[in-house]
Chains A and B, each alone.
Chain A
Amino acid sequence: MADTYVPVTFVADELLTSTKMNLLGANQAGFHSGEAMGDGIIVTRHLSNATKVMVLPSVTGSVTAPESADSTNDFKCPIPSDYVDGTAITVKYMRNASNATGVVNQRGSVFNLRNGVSSSVLADSVGLDFTASGAFVRDIATIYTTGTDEFDIGDVIFVRIARDTADTSSASVDYDAVWIEYTGSV
Chain B
Amino acid sequence: MAREIKKIKQDPNDLTAMAEYYGNQFSEVYFVRDILADVIIAVECAPFQPGLSAPVERANGQRRNIFGYQELLLTTRFRTDTNDEGQRMVGYESASGNDTRLAKVEIGEVPITNGNVIAAGGSVRTLSPFERSQLQSTVRLKQAQMKARADYERYTDSAGRLVERFETFEIVRMK
A interface, CB within 8 angstroms of B:
6-20, 22-23
Contacts and interface: CB of A to CB of B under 8 A. Distances in A.
A19 B119 contact: no
A17 B54 CA distance: 9
Q: How large is the interface on B (under 10, 10 to 19, 20 to 34, 35 or more residues)?
A: 20 to 34
Given A19-B73, A20-B74, A9 B111 contact: no
A17 to B, nearest CB: 5
B75 A14 contact: yes
B127 A9 contact: no
A12 B110 contact: yes
A10 B68 CA distance: 18
Contacts, number: 69
A22 B126 CA distance: 20
Given A15-B77, A19-B73, A20-B74, A9 B113 contact: yes
Contacts of A11: 75, 77, 91, 101-102, 110-113, 118, 124
Interface string B148-168: 000000000000000000000
A18 to B, nearest CB: 8
B76 A9 contact: no
A19 B124 contact: no
B1 to A, nearest CB: 5
Interface in B91-107: 91, 93, 95, 101-102
A7 B76 contact: no
Interface of B: 1, 3, 54, 56, 66, 68, 71-78, 91, 93, 95, 101-102, 110-114, 118-120, 124-127, 132
A23 B95 CA distance: 10
Given A7-B1, A9-B113, A20-B75, A15 B66 contact: yes
Given A7-B1, A9-B114, A12-B127, A17 B74 contact: yes
A11 B109 CA distance: 11
B127 A19 contact: no
Given A10-B112, A10-B113, A23-B74, A15 B54 contact: yes
A13 B111 CA distance: 9
Contacts of A16: 75
A19 B110 contact: no
Contacts of A15: 54, 56, 66, 75-77
Contacts of A18: 68
Contacts of A12: 110-112, 124-127
A14 B120 contact: no
B91 to A, nearest CB: 8
B50 to A, nearest CB: 15
Nearest to A18: B68
A11 B77 CA distance: 8
A9 B95 CA distance: 12
Contacts of B77: 11, 13-15
8 contacts: A10-B75, A10-B113, A11-B101, A12-B127, A15-B56, A16-B75, A17-B73, A19-B72
Contacts of B114: 9
A37 to B, nearest CB: 14
Nearest to B102: A11
Nearest to A10: B124
Contacts of B112: 9-12
Which of B56, B68, B78, B93 has the most C-beta atoms of chain A within 10 angstroms of its own C-beta? B93
A23 B124 CA distance: 17
